[in-house]
Amino acid sequence: MIDAALHHFSAGGLFNGLVLLIDDESKTYWDHITGEAVHGPMKGKRLDAWPVDMTTVAAALENDPEITLARRPVHPFARVFGFLHRNAFRHGGFLPPRFRGTMGPEDKRLERMAHGLGVVVGDEARFFNMADLQGGISLDWGARRMAVTISGQNRVPAAAWEDGERPFQLFTRWYGFSYTYPGCAIWDGGEGAQ
């Protein structure tokens, strides 16, 4: 891990169809999922990484009616891109040509744009395809029992241990998870993984 120095991050480029962050202070490029410095003076260092919970405003308000919501003005380009992305998402997804041009050999075990939940526990990563999660699942992982369910509020999958603790997880596309965690397991509909 790096020391507690302050860093300012922005999008610095693309690699394997995923955004790389760059910090203003050292000009180091960082993997935005794992927190690892992948190029530059701080290469090999690692930031703490936390999962981001994806939800909707309606679901957030239902969970906590007193929640404070913040919103900033949206750039017109972002509105157009968001509209195109949402509609492409309904029809299997869309990767802009410049994203595809940064991608190396793909893991073809699933369709590139398949979406699902990627879960990482220690050194083990596993992908749960949305198509297999509709009824929710329960499985043993190591010495613990995990449930993976899809919220009725926001239709986003989430994993939790029996005690309610949540492992590191990402609601993501297959290509992004498989590039970040090469050779990861895929939940195969039973207790095992392929």
Please check whether residues 56 and 45 belong to one and the same domain: no
Please check whether residues 29 and 88 belong to one and the same domain: no
Please check whether residues 145 and 82 belong to one and the same domain: yes
pLDDT digits (tens, 9 = 90+) for 135-190: 899 999 999 999 999 987 778 899 999 999 999 999 999 999 999 999 999 998 76
Residue-range definition of the domain harbouring residue 89: 52-194
The count of other CB atoms within 10 Å of the CB of residue 56 is 13
Please check whether residues 4 and 84 belong to one and the same domain: no
Please check whether residues 64 and 29 belong to one and the same domain: no
Please check whether residues 57 and 34 belong to one and the same domain: no
Number of structural domains found in the chain: 2
Please check whether residues 44 and 98 belong to one and the same domain: no
Where residue 92 falls among pLDDT bands split at 50, 70, 90? low
pLDDT digits (tens, 9 = 90+) for 2-59: 655 788 999 999 999 899 999 999 999 999 999 999 999 999 999 988 877 777 788 8
Distances (CA, A) of 37 to 17, 18, 26, 104, 152: 17, 14, 11, 19, 37
Please check whether residues 37 and 62 belong to one and the same domain: no
Is the dihedral angle over the CA atoms 71, 72, 76, 79 positive or is it negative? Answer: negative
Please check whether residues 137 and 179 belong to one and the same domain: yes
* 170 backbone dihedrals φ, ψ, rounded to 5°: -140, 130
Please check whether residues 24 and 86 belong to one and the same domain: no
